[in-house]
Every structure is written in C-alpha cells, then in structure tokens.
Amino acid sequence: MVFYELFCISRPFVRKMVYTEATDIAKNLAKRCGTILLDRRGAIDGFEVYGLKELDKPIKKQGEKYDFGFWWGMRFHCSTFAQYEMFKTLHQDPSVLRFNIIRKAYKIDQL
C-alpha cells in the first residue's frame, strides 16, 4: 500500500435552501473519502482541520467567487485504485474548491 496525504479546500457554506456550515461540509466529504478508503482495504492515519482561512486569490467555481475556504487534510494508506476513486469523487463534488493528493512514500519504512 502507498502512503498518501490529501489537502482539500471546501466551500465555506452552501447557499441553497438551508445554510450549511463549513464544518458539516468537510465532515461529509471526509466521511465519503473514508468510506471509499475503508471499502477498498485502505487505512486512515490522521485527519487535520485547519479551519476557515482567507484564500490568496479568489477562486471561481460554478459562477460564484470565493474569498474564503475551509481547509482540511487527511493522511492515509491505500492502493492506487482506491486513491483514483477518491480523486474522481472529490473532482466531481461541487462543494470542493481545490484539492491535492500527494504521494508521500511507497511504504511506511520510507518515511
């Protein structure tokens, strides 16, 4: 299994019928990512919440402009197939502004 680290910036809120806080959005994203990993025999090493931060430059997504984003990260082990499934899920999710998955090592011994 390969060791990865995920950094994600999600929307600070959703402007639909109900006001949803940034922590709820990040929690739902983390649950979906965790479910994908655990269903494909992966393991989660840690989860970090960096909180609501101002972005260096505004991000335009689906016709809206965001000056703030909710930052969070996750460390995990999984196969490349599971990592690709998580990549597709995050890429298609409208509540994700930006994300990056970094391969840290092929084995834990290499860290």
pLDDT tens per residue across span 67-84 = 989 999 999 999 989 999
Burial (0-12, 13-18, 19+ Cβ within 10 Å), 65 = exposed
Instruction: Please report the pLDDT score of residue 20 as a whole number.
Output: 66
Topology of the domain covering 2-110: Alpha-Beta Plaits (3.30.70)
pLDDT tens per residue across span 7-56 = 999 988 766 545 567 788 888 899 999 999 999 999 999 999 998 899 99
Instruction: Please report the pLDDT score of residue 34 as a whole number.
Output: 92
Ranges of H-type helices in the chain: 22-39, 80-92
Instruction: Please report the pLDDT score of residue 56 as a whole number.
Output: 94
Q: Rounded to an integer, what distance in angstroms lies between the CA atom of residue 96 and that of residue 2?
A: 24
Instruction: Please report the pLDDT score of residue 17 as a whole number.
Output: 45
